[in-house]
Structure 1
Amino acid sequence: MARRVALVSLLVADYDDAIAFYVGKLGFTLVEDTDMGGDKRWVVVSPGTEGTDFLLARAIDDQARAIGQQGGGRVWLFLHTDDFAGDHARMTAAGVRFLEEPRFEPYGTVAVFEDLSGNRWDLLEPKAAR
């Protein structure tokens, strides 16, 4: 049996703002944007062919408190790349907020950034990819 995590749901305040950030600033691909009726949409973005896709879910009611806090203030998403320098430069130029300068760790080159809601991510080029 083949299994994998296909989608991770990411709470956002607004679909269009989230698409602009993930596609326009992070360079993800918009996979699907389907109107579900009742002001709901099925919005899926992908970091690339080998990554897990994200369902951008507009928060409603009490869910809004969790926007930007899905990792409890910790880095909880890890965006792997085989071109750290290029991605870091492109993302910085696009206005992505990095919380630190790139650093070299035993496991690879890494820098923490925040998404549009404040969730923390690692941009990471694993050592094996260098």
Structure 2
Amino acid sequence: MEEHWELKNAHSSISLDHVSQRDMFYIKWCGHINSEDVIQTALKYIELQKGRNCPKILNDKSEVTGDWEEANDWLEFEWLPRAVASGLKCFAMVLTRDLHDLGAALDLERRFTPECRVKLFKEPDAAQEWLDTCH
């Protein structure tokens, strides 16, 4: 079963899709995002993940600007334990060229637990290749 969710506002567009043939969620971010956008999308992922035990996320932030680092504490202590408990094992993040995003992404990467592998990428294709081999 495929599912699609979108968040559109004046500054950003975010889509979250369950891709059943790859047993993953694909999250595409566009525009200028903030911590509120990140938290809202993370909560929607938890809702869509219920009962699925889908082990993979491709988190594509290649087309964003903005500072979302304030969400990292919440992601570490609230979202990540729930995501891992619901089956998340592999998290691939595609980075933007925006240096602000790089700092937030590196900070988030170090917060992941051994129960969920995380890797940062410059290109979506490389992220997908890694996810295809991640178990």
Give TM-score scaled by structure 2 length.
Answer: 0.29
Which structure has greater strand proportion? Answer: 1
Q: Report the structure number with the largest CA radius of gyration.
A: 1
Which structure has greater helix proportion? Answer: 2
Give TM-score scaled by structure 1 length.
Answer: 0.29
